[in-house]
Amino acid sequence: KAGVTQTPRYLIKTRGQQVTLSCSPISGHRSVSWYQQTPGQGLQFLFEYFSETQRNKGNFPGRFSGRQFSNSRSEMNVSTLELGDSALYLCASSSIDVLAGGRPGANVLTFGAGSRLTVL
């Protein structure tokens, strides 16, 4: 079973440009979430998409946006790049985990390798 695939793996942009990152989830996973990872800050939640709808959104400016397609693949876009946007962007997919009796279980995230963005 293929894992979570993120492209591109590395990219360099300059301030003011925009960037689009792509994420293909594990087959059958309908939830895709995005995280920004920077040294000292850990992982910060950007947003989550489920069945093409944004289900949750973190505390990031509107320059950060995303979408999900009918095949569950997701893209995130960052416009008007700033130096502080340099980070590893991680995508994670998840299936629905329902325990016996219908009780919702923990949705385990499966992460991709990430897209490392450098803004100069």
Partner 1 sequence: AQTVTQSQPEMSVQEAETVTLSCTYDTSENNYYLFWYKQPPSRQMILVIRQEAYKQQNATENRFSVNFQKAAKSFSLKISDSQLGDTAMYFCAFVVSNTGNQFYFGTGTSLTVIP
Of positions 1, 10, 42, 101, contacts partner 1 by CB under 8 A: 42
**Which residues are CB-neighbours of 77 under 8 A, at least 6 positions away?**
18, 19, 20, 21, 64, 65, 66
Q: Are strands 115-119 and 10-13 parallel, antiparallel or unpaired?
A: parallel
Residue from 26, 76, 81, 90 touching partner 1 (CB under 8 A): that is 90
Please give the radius of gyration of the chain, using alpha carbons only, rounded to the nearest integer.
Answer: 15
Identify the residue among 19, 26, 35, 68 touching partner 1 (CB under 8 A).
Answer: 35
Binding site residues, partner 1, CB under 8 A: 3, 31, 33, 35, 40-45, 48, 50, 55-56, 58, 90, 92, 94, 104-114
